[in-house]
């Protein structure tokens, strides 16, 4: 089964059962962002997690097998500037603040990158009298560049 078909079936089952990503994530003991990313084909699941997710959504072993396959990452944006307003704002944030973030990381850690492999991303609602805010916290292992 192709990842696109896997995602279609997962989203259809999620909708028909009226489940949130948080509820599904709770059932598989993973974070909502990671769970959604895996369901959208951007990450792979262990056999155990794949079968738990499929049990929650009443999906076949064929979907569980597709969940375990290593993905081609980044297909959701396909190298294009995103047009969805919410996703575009993250693109815009990196366009405006990306080099500043890089400068500050290099000052603090040295020449290297933040891992997207050993990584966490959490989203929370932050109440504010001017309107609730979206709080996004990224935490990735620092990987220094090798010199040889």
Active site residues: 89, 92, 115
Estimate to the nearest angstrom the gap between the alpha carbon of 86 and the chain centroid: 14
Cβ proximity of 77 and 86 under 8 Å: no
DSSP conformation letters of 35-62 = HHHHHTTSS---HHHHHHHHHHHT--HH
Show the tokens assigned to 64: 């569980």
> For residue 138, how many C-alpha atoms fall within 13 Å in the half-sphere facing its CB?
9
Residues in the chain: 148
């Amino acid at each position: 089964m192709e990842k696109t078909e896997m995602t279609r079936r997962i989203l259809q089952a999620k909708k028909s059962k009226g489940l949130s990503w948080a509820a599904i994530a709770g059932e598989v003991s993973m974070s909502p962002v990671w769970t959604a990313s895996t369901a959208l084909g951007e990450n792979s699941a262990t056999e155990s997690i794949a079968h738990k997710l499929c049990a929650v959504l009443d999906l076949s072993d064929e979907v569980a097998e597709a969940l375990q396959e290593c993905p081609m990452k980044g297909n959701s944006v396909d190298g294009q500037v995103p047009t969805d307003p919410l996703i575009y704002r993250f693109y815009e944030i990196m366009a405006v603040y990306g080099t500043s973030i890089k400068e500050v990381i290099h000052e603090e850690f040295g020449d290297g990158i933040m891992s997207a492999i050993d990584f966490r991303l959490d989203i929370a609602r932050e109440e504010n009298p001017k309107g609730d805010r979206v709080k996004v916290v990224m935490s990735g292992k620092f990987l220094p560049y090798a010199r040889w």
